[in-house]
Chain A
Amino acid sequence: MSKNVLLYAAILIFGLVAPFVFPAFKVQLSILCVLIVLATTWNIQGGEMGYNTFGNILFYGLGMYLCASVQVGMFFPLAEWTESGGEKTFVHTPTQFFQGMAAGLVVAAVVPTIVAGLIGYAILGLRGHYFAICTLGLGVAAGEISGGIEIIGAGQGFTTPPFPNVGGLEARGEFFYFLSFGALVLTFIAVRAIYSTRFRLILNAIRDNEDKAEAMGIETMKYKIIGWMVSAFFCGLAGGIMGGLVGYIDSTDVAFDGREMGVFMVLMAILGGKGTLWGPVIGATVFHIFKEGFWTFFLGWQYVALGVLIVVIVIYFPEGIMGWLREKYPERFGEVVDEADRKAQVELK
């Protein structure tokens, strides 16, 4: 345990000083935090529960729109704000900005959770590919619908309130960095706590054999819904932060960005190793570094390079980085390998 404390302290310190040591990378680090949150929460479904969802982007986008809408709507008429022809210029005072952001983030986290409960009740009865396809539709539908709602800007997009004039140039970056880092810490603590309870075992049971789990008296539906609600809570929060960070919300390209974010969260979890606590964290970090690198050095070809990376991962690291490490160094993961027994098993087959 003492070593654990050391590790967490090191990460925490790194997280706290990073924006000051690497001031130029604040935005990238903030985005990294958001990516880790998304990958970690996706892992609850995709990794632990065995339900490959493409629908988590729904909660992310919902959180983004909600946070910005609340932040504006608390102080100004939302319709006038988003109406592109509006000749008025609204300016949030610093107090208004932060109050609005705080209230917005609460709404951004809570409402998607409720939505997840409702949708989950309706569709978590589906299994396997059917569930995946169904959730794929959710994100696409949400993008198209939100692109038609005038009050949130429809196709025009929604410019989130600009950061107020306090604390110099770096203030905005630092604010959003610590916000996203806070969300990351919160998510990690929550997920880690959840994974140490029986809840994780139930999710694993659902993944391994849902019928058996049910036969053993587990109300699988209840746990599946709760699991999804947990994901939705943090996805919504991450979305709210990201909306403020990007500063401009577009229905299909920023909020319900199933084609990028929606796929990336799956990729990152798989890259790191799904079904592990650290896998998504490592996966997201590696992915982000590679992606940024490709963008700089393979201009115009970055997606080709990324595609090659994905192919390599799937072929050589099908279990992700954590899975690969675990296979290579099982003893480091606290597993005892009985060589004789292992051989005996192999020979039996």
Chain B
Amino acid sequence: MKINKIILSFISAVAILLSTSVVSFAKVVGDKIVLGAAISLTGKYSSNGVHTQNGYNMAVDRINSMGGVKVGGKTYKFEIIYYDDESNPKRAAQLAERLISQDGVEFMLGPYSSGLTKAIAPVTEKYGVPMVEANGASRSLFTKGYKYLFAVLAPANLYLDVAIRTAVELNGGKGVRIAQAFEQDAFSQDVRLGILDAAKETGSEIIIDDKLPKELNDMAATLVKVKQMKPDVLVVSGHTKGALTAIRQIAEMKVDVPMLAMTHCDAAKLSKQHGKNSQYALCASQWHKTLTYKDNFFKDGMTYAADFQKEFGYDPPYQSAESSAALLVFKDAFERANSFDQKKVRDALAATNMQTFYGNIKFAPGGQNVDKPMVLFQVMCDGAGKCENKVVAPLKWASAKLIHPIPKWSDR
């Protein structure tokens, strides 16, 4: 029975390992405010995860280089501990637990996507850790009575609401026939609910209502139906992959539809990757660089975009902009609370009312930002085939006129 000895020594090894690996950071070390974030660096959300991380890093550098955060007469600098949640909610919940109980983080930044935020929110809520998140838009996040969750973005059900209303308006106020296909994930399903609401209110009819799998790379079945049934509007949402797949297959199959409304066009760099094929696509966005909001750190959208381009080599999608904004919100809240007490910071966050380059930020009791409308932009190309995203709605910021209906493929 010597095997027992082996197992016993094995167990003691585990125990020793555990006891020696308790490394504890405090929330505020020296002159640093340590924030924790689980980000999707691998897995299906990895590209958006990186956009998020770049947005966070950009703001951290900017705030730190412009004097940091002043609390109690002392200046602090931001620092972020990152983990990779692998685009997996189970992992994200585990990491949140780890950030809080092992790394001693007392303030959190959100992950990418609604599903992961849903997994993390119960944990931060339990520990009373304020979390400012920039990428979880699902409406159900804001109906659960969470007190420590703050989202700088507009909820998901509003994403394409404007598109439907615009289509109805252009149809002379009569209801339109909608075809829709949504990925089976928390965010896209919420966008779908928003469309259902909008359809009900405008008397529109939903003639195709498809679900797309999570590992999304084919939606031909939906498009065949669209070709047959000729809807007035085609709505597609499935994060970056959904946008890319839709454009690729619509072009391949030459699907004619008067209006194509999507999400995540800028994160997918549609206008760059698919050029003229993506022309006329209508996209919901939390932010666009041409909006005229201003703040002291990034000045305005155009300056942010230029700085971001210089730093990371690509045009910032709204995912990066909103992530940067999350840091601005935190800084503002720390300074107003003038304390690192979690409750006080939480109350300060709840009372946030500010303008950033990304938009106005003011939280409803549920935690969602109620002071910032969504914008719609359309991909427009010039004769040389150079494509750009131009804001077409709401009219206040519109830099171009909506092209409707989309010309048939045979005429393009």
CB contacts under 8 Å to B, within A1-21, are 3-4, 6-7, 10-11, 14, 18, 21
Instruction: Assess the B139–A85 pair: CB atoms within 8 A.
Output: yes
A261 to B195, CA, bound (A): 35
Instruction: Assess the A10–B11 pair: CB atoms within 8 A.
Output: yes
Q: Is B310 an interface residue (CB 8 A)?
A: no
Q: Is A148 an interface residue (CB 8 A)?
A: yes
Q: Is A25 an interface residue (CB 8 A)?
A: yes
Q: Is B8 an interface residue (CB 8 A)?
A: yes
Instruction: Assess the B140–A84 pair: CB atoms within 8 A.
Output: yes
A147 to B184, CA, bound (A): 7
B contact patch SS: helix
Q: Which residue of B lies closest to A162 (CB)?
A: B122
> Closest Cβ of chain B: how far from A170's Cβ, in Å?
9
Instruction: Assess the A10–B8 pair: CB atoms within 8 A.
Output: yes
Instruction: Assess the A246–B42 pair: CB atoms within 8 A.
Output: no
Instruction: Assess the B89–A250 pair: CB atoms within 8 A.
Output: yes
Q: Is A334 an interface residue (CB 8 A)?
A: yes
Q: Is B138 an interface residue (CB 8 A)?
A: yes
Instruction: Assess the B41–A299 pair: CB atoms within 8 A.
Output: yes
> Closest Cβ of chain B: how far from A93's Cβ, in Å?
15
- Given known contacts A14-B11, A24-B102, A295 and B115 CB-to-CB distance under 8 angstroms: no
Which of chain A's residues have a CB closer than 8 A to the CB of B123? 247
Instruction: Assess the A289–B126 pair: CB atoms within 8 A.
Output: no
Which of chain B's residues have a CB closer than 8 A to the CB of A144? 213
Instruction: Assess the A6–B4 pair: CB atoms within 8 A.
Output: yes
- How many A-B contacts if CB must be within 8 Å? 164
From A22, A31, A257, A295, give the contact of B19 (CB < 8 A). A22
Instruction: Assess the B11–A156 pair: CB atoms within 8 A.
Output: no
From A25, A169, A250, A257, give the contact of B115 (CB < 8 A). A250
Q: How does the 8 Å CB contact mask read for A330-347 relative to B, with 1 for contact and 0 for none?
A: 011110000000000000
Q: Is A28 an interface residue (CB 8 A)?
A: yes
Q: Is B145 an interface residue (CB 8 A)?
A: yes
Q: Is A128 an interface residue (CB 8 A)?
A: no
Instruction: Assess the B11–A22 pair: CB atoms within 8 A.
Output: no
CB contacts under 8 Å to B, within A265-300, are 278, 282, 285, 289, 295-296, 299-300
Instruction: Assess the B126–A163 pair: CB atoms within 8 A.
Output: yes
A156 to B185, CA, bound (A): 5
A287 to B367, CA, bound (A): 39
> Closest Cβ of chain B: how far from A30's Cβ, in Å?
10
> Closest Cβ of chain B: how far from A22's Cβ, in Å?
5
Instruction: Assess the A246–B184 pair: CB atoms within 8 A.
Output: no
CB contacts under 8 Å to B, within A97-150, are 144, 147-148
Q: List 18 A-B contacts (CB under 8 A).
A: A4-B1, A11-B11, A24-B24, A27-B98, A86-B140, A155-B185, A156-B186, A159-B122, A242-B90, A246-B93, A248-B89, A248-B118, A248-B122, A250-B90, A285-B10, A303-B42, A332-B2, A334-B3
A-B residue pairs, 5 tightest by C-beta: A155-B184, A84-B140, A332-B2, A248-B119, A247-B122
